[in-house]
Amino acid sequence: MVGKEPQFSPVGTKRTFELVLAQIRDRLESGSLKPGEKLPAEPELAAQLGVSRTALREALKVLELSGYLEIRRGYGGGTFVAKPTVEEFKVITPSTIPIAEVTPRQLSEVRFAIEPQAAKIAAQAETRDVRQLEDTVSEMHIFDDRPARVLEANVDFHVAVAKISANPIFVTLLEELRPAVYRELNHLVRNSEWRESCLRGHEQIIEAIAVGDCEEAEKMMRLHLKSEISAEESGRGK
């Protein structure tokens, strides 16, 4: 709009997603962006941030999946700040974990350190209700033609394994890393071979947890992560 002070400033070209996220988070915490407030239209927002509209769309999609933004379609639609309060927003991405600075390698190291152990403990748990795990697999099948939902269900599976382990630290860490996982998998989710491989891995993990085979659960999770991370690296051209 003419004469209106821009809400955002150019972020440059390095790690667009993290830089866009940082600007939106800063404005939420400062109170300059309120829950429910509508962001500028896509062309204006892209111009303010100094990024392409394609890059902006990718960032907004990940931010939507992470719970930061709500994208409404149709009349009166647009991109809105999600309803949670600033305090709730800080819980999603706490300052103790600098998501904007997490590299793919660092993310892989953390996931390898905690997820196989979480699966092993989950298989040893007295209550091994795998229905939530099975639900995420069903969602990945049902929403096969909706990449964003597939991606969300994939991460939900890993969080659900952590919940079965009954270790709140595992759960909290995976929830906090959710935006970074979305970022790394976003370019893979439309690949049908990757989705099929991912589903097979999930089903093998479910089977091991269901029968209480802790060593197999740990092994299957490790193999699943290795396959997923290998696909990520191939997708990045490494």
Look at residue 91 in the predicted model and tell me its pLDDT: 45
Q: Is the dihedral of CA 49, 51, 54, 59 positive or negative?
A: negative
40-46 own/partner pairs: CB under 8 Å, 24+ apart: 40/7, 40/8, 41/78, 42/79, 45/8, 45/79
Four-point Cα dihedral 171, 174, 177, 180, nearest 10: -150
Q: What's the rounded Cα separation, in Å, for the pair 225 and 205?
A: 11
CATH topology of domain 16-92: Arc Repressor Mutant, subunit A (1.10.10)
Q: pTM (2 decimals)?
A: 0.63
Query: Would the CATH topology of 16-92 be identical to that of 102-235?
Result: no
Domain boundaries, the chain: 16-92, 102-235
Look at residue 92 in the predicted model and tell me its pLDDT: 45
Structure tokens at 115: 């997820």
Q: What's the rounded Cα separation, in Å, for the pair 6 and 12?
A: 16
Look at residue 223 in the predicted model and tell me its pLDDT: 97
Look at residue 68 in the predicted model and tell me its pLDDT: 74
Q: Which CATH number fits domain 102-235: 1.20.120.530, 3.40.50.150, 1.10.1040.10, 3.40.47.10?
A: 1.20.120.530
- Spell out the per-residue pLDDT of the chain, length 238, in tens: 455 666 666 655 456 666 776 777 777 667 777 778 899 998 999 899 888 787 787 778 777 776 778 888 878 888 888 765 444 444 444 445 677 678 888 999 999 999 999 999 999 998 888 999 999 999 999 988 888 889 999 999 999 999 999 988 888 889 888 888 988 888 888 888 999 999 999 999 999 999 999 999 999 999 999 998 888 777 655 4
Q: What's the rounded Cα separation, in Å, for the pair 39 and 22?
A: 15
